């Protein structure tokens, strides 16, 4: 979704960050260079300067389709509305080894795997539409299939993925209510959208509501979506040809460092790992916890990419860069952020966490001045609500933006109907509930053999890391 939603325009000015002599030995990079975020005129009286997003921030699948005509052209076949895909069901690549689908900057194995899957979904939708409506031409088939595929992704994100991050019955009911309303799916499927946004849900409202603000994603949303601690240091490759173990757990084959699974070099390795092996392997590996001292090591010395997917000359420490970006883009510090959301700010470090080691470290960095606490550091240190992978501070923004992205988009409100999506396309969206449904369409038998839960996301229950015999999300602070 990040590859679909946001990417700041950079200036031509490069700056350098240097670690102080006190901590330099602890840093993978003692210094690194990067480009500043470019400020542009907003045209708004109250905000003179702002930042430009070079991606379309709509829920439009631009990670696959691209955000401009040039990117769109690269991915299309111009035959029966379909997108380019290799015969073996994997992404096509250019002469430089880069995939040709949509957004390719800072790509890695997970993004590429999902691109594979949803290109197949788009093309399957084209086949279904062509069979149902033989008179539709290439352009109309493409447009309807893109609408349907983007809506399926939005629906999975709303009622499947987000629910795994916020795993409580209340949140599950709340996110489903965003899509179906409080009256539920059966009622909505039978009687349509009735009863306004609460009883009928946000999807299918008579008209979009942007609350007086042009459709956009806020800097606050960018800040709380800094979820790199979820990413592991290596991928555990599973042997899907061997019989499954207890609880449908596939046997471990080998592991690959994540640094080898990014960019063009990663794309080369991906072609040697079949889709089913990739999906089953990732489906059985736990995410990292969103906590302090759990940032992926490989992302602290990583090669960033240009917009065209080519590598840059300078490595960056992404953990340090994320702190800098929030400050550069004027995101509030932790306490001020909470005040702006009408949440109680902290007065002492003990209000934030019970972990004495964290408290000592925060005191070492910030002294007693809790107002200086950086937003990302505070969110990773904050005590979690039971069942939440996210902290409360991030959750509030997630909740508001999850609703806004649906409520302010005409393709999920006034134009979410059979006339725009076609009857077949509308039915396709309404009968797709989870990532499992999409996998079952294109890889029948995979989930039946390997899934050990009702959801394709098994965030906290994956097999242990074979190196230290504890789950990856409980890694010792590093």
Question: What is the spatial distance between Cα 330 and Cα 338, in angstroms, rounded to a whole number?
Answer: 15
What are residue 272's phi and psi, to 5 degrees? Answer: -95, -10
Q: Among the options 3, 51, 193, 284, which is catalytic?
A: 3
How many angstroms separate the CA atoms of 68 and 75, rounded? Answer: 11
| Helices 423-431/138-156 angle, 10° precision | 20
Helix (H) or strand (E) holding 253: strand 251-257
CA 332, 334, 339, 342 dihedral sign is: positive
CA distances from 281 to 127, 254, 380, 419, 421 (A): 30, 10, 27, 40, 34
State the DSSP code for 133. Answer: -
Spatial contact of 312 and 306, defined as CB atoms under 8 Å apart: yes
CB 306 within 8 A of CB 95: no
| Distance (Å, whole) CA 110 – CA 227 | 14
Q: Is 260 a catalytic residue?
A: no
Angle 359-365-366 (CA atoms, 0-180°, nearest 5)? 85
Handedness of CA 309, 311, 312, 315 (dihedral sign): positive
Q: Helices marked H in 290-422 — which ranges?
A: 318-328, 334-340, 356-366, 375-381, 392-407, 418-421
Residues sharing a CB contact under 8 Å with residue 177, sequence separation 6 or more, in sequence order: 198, 201
d(CA 8, CA 329): 10
Contact 50, 40 (CB under 8 A): yes
Write the DSSP symbol of residue 476. Answer: P
Q: How many Å separate Cα 421 from the centre of its chain? A: 25
Strands 31-37 and 39-41, by their bridges, are: unpaired
Residue of 337, 342, 322 lying closest to 382 (CA atoms) = 337
Residue-by-residue DSSP string for 127-172: HHHHHH-TT--HHHHHHHHHHHHHHHHHHHIIIIIHHHHB-SHHHH
Active site members: 3
């Amino acid at each position: 979704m990040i590859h679909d939603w946001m990417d700041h325009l950079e200036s031509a000015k490069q700056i350098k960050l240097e670690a102080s002599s006190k901590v330099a030995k602890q840093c993978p990079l003692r210094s690194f260079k990067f480009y500043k975020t470019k400020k542009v005129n907003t045209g708004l009286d109250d905000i003179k300067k702002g930042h430009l997003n070079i991606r379309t921030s709509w829920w439009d699948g631009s990670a696959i389709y691209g955000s401009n005509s040039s990117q769109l052209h690269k991915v299309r076949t111009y035959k029966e509305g379909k997108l380019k895909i290799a015969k073996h069901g994997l992404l096509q690549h250019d002469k430089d080894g880069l995939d040709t689908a949509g957004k390719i900057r800072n790509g890695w194995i997970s993004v590429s795997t999902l691109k594979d899957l949803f290109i197949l979904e788009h093309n399957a939708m084209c086949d279904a539409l062509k069979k149902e409506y033989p008179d539709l031409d290439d352009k109309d088939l493409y447009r309807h299939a893109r609408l349907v595929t983007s809506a399926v992704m939005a629906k999975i994100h709303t009622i499947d993925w987000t629910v795994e991050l916020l795993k409580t019955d209340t949140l599950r009911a709340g996110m489903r209510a965003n899509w179906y309303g409080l009256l539920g799916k059966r009622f909505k499927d039978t009687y349509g959208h009735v009863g306004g946004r609460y009883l009928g849900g946000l999807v299918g409202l008579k008209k979009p509501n942007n609350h007086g603000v042009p459709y956009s994603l806020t800097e606050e949303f960018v800040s709380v979506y800094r979820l790199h601690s979820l990413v592991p240091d290596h991928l555990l490759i599973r042997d899907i040809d061997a019989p499954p173990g207890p609880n449908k757990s596939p046997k471990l084959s080998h592991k690959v460092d994540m640094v080898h699974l990014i960019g063009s070099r990663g794309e080369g390795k991906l072609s040697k790992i079949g889709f089913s092996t990739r999906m089953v392997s990732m489906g059985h590996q736990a995410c990292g916890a969103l906590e302090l001292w759990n940032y992926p090591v490989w992302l602290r010395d990583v090669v960033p990419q240009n917009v065209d997917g080519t590598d840059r000359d300078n490595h960056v420490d992404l953990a340090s860069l994320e702190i800098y970006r929030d400050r550069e883009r004027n995101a509030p510090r932790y306490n001020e952020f909470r005040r702006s959301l009408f949440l109680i700010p902290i007065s002492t470090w003990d209000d934030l966490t019970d972990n004495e080691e964290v408290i000592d470290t925060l005191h070492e960095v910030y002294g007693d001045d809790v107002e200086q606490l950086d937003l990302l550091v505070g969110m990773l240190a904050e005590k979690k609500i039971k069942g939440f992978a996210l902290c409360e501070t991030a959750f509030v923004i997630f909740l508001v933006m999850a609703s806004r992205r649906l409520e302010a988009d005409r393709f999920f409100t006034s134009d979410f109907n059979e006339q725009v999506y076609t009857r077949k396309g509308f039915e396709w969206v309404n009968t797709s509930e989870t990532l499992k449904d999409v996998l079952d369409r294109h890889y029948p038998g995979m989930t039946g053999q390997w899934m050990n839960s009702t959801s394709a996301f098994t965030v906290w229950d994956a097999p242990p890391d074979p190196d230290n015999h504890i789950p990856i999300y409980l890694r010792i602070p590093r």
